[in-house]
Amino acid sequence: MQQDKIKGGDLYLHLRFRNQRKRKYGHPEKRGKLNNRKSIHDRPKIIEERSRFGDLEIDTIVGKNHHQSLVSIVDRKTGYLWLKKCSTRKSQEVGEATVHLLDPVKEKLHSITADNGKEFSLHEQIAAELGIEFYFADPYSAWQRGTNENTNGLIRQYIRKGSDLKDYSDDYITEITHRLNHRPRKRLGFKSSSQVLFQEHGVALQMLI
């Protein structure tokens, strides 16, 4: 066909897709790439055991039209929740919120695991400031952060999906956090996360305000 065109032929004019370019495949996806990420598969086995306080999971809950967000952090062992509203979902603000929430107990922390959202692109800085290891789950594998996913479901009982987070005050976010941390859990022998945190791990509640 190409030779006919070179010789002045018009066969190419009758091609069904003559005006369409071929799609190019095999190019790596560069959007939202996280540098120097540590895979969840490199985590120590003790994290899977849920035997200690301080192995955390982190996520962001996005408001209506992607305006504002909630930083949601939960301890895998006790289910204790930290929750803070941010005006954006940008990595700088999410990083600052994470450090602010966890700084009072950073001496007792070991690790944190996130999804692959761009808001966690400052993971190395967060890890350095808190003195912990930062890991990332596999893409499209929410089950690998099941504690976080289940806790976010509880949060949705108070903040409906698609809501405008501007409608919820910081005091209301604090109240949600308090209620969930004092809610009896079946997997904790019907103790609350706050009770287990204090009774079994010696973390005083005033440290977490």
pLDDT digits (tens, 9 = 90+) for 139-168: 999 999 999 999 999 999 999 988 999 999
Closest CA to 137 of 51, 52, 66, 76: 76
Sole residue written with tokens 């930290």? 82
Distance in Å from the first CA to the final CA of the chain: 74
How would residue 19 be classed by pLDDT, with cut points 50, 70 and 90? very low
40-208 topology per CATH: Nucleotidyltransferase; domain 5 (3.30.420)
Say which amino acid occupies 170: D
Instruction: Look at residue 7 in the predicted model and tell me its pLDDT.
Output: 53
The arithmetic mean of pLDDT across residues 185-202, rounded, is 91
The arithmetic mean of pLDDT across residues 14-37, rounded, is 51
122, 95 contact by CB (below 8 A)? yes
Instruction: Look at residue 209 in the predicted model and tell me its pLDDT.
Output: 41
Name beta bridge partners: 71: 60, 84
Sheet containing 133-136: order of strands: 81-86, 69-75, 55-62, 111-114, 133-136
Instruction: Look at residue 170 in the predicted model and tell me its pLDDT.
Output: 95
pLDDT reading at 22 higher than 60:
no
Distance CA 183, CA 39 (A): 32
pLDDT reading at 208 higher than 50:
no
Distance CA 67, CA 87 (A): 7
Would you call 39 helix, strand, or coil by DSSP? Answer: strand
| Tens of pLDDT, residues 72-126 | 999 999 999 999 999 999 999 999 999 999 999 999 999 999 999 999 999 999 9
Instruction: Look at residue 9 in the predicted model and tell me its pLDDT.
Output: 57
Could you give the angle at the alpha carbon of 141 between the alpha carbons of 185 and 81, nearest 5°?
30
Total residue length of the chain: 209
pLDDT reading at 34 higher than 70:
yes
How would residue 25 be classed by pLDDT, with cut points 50, 70 and 90? very low
Average pLDDT, the chain: 86
Structural domain boundaries in the chain: 40-208
pLDDT reading at 3 higher than 60:
no
38, 133 contact by CB (below 8 A)? yes
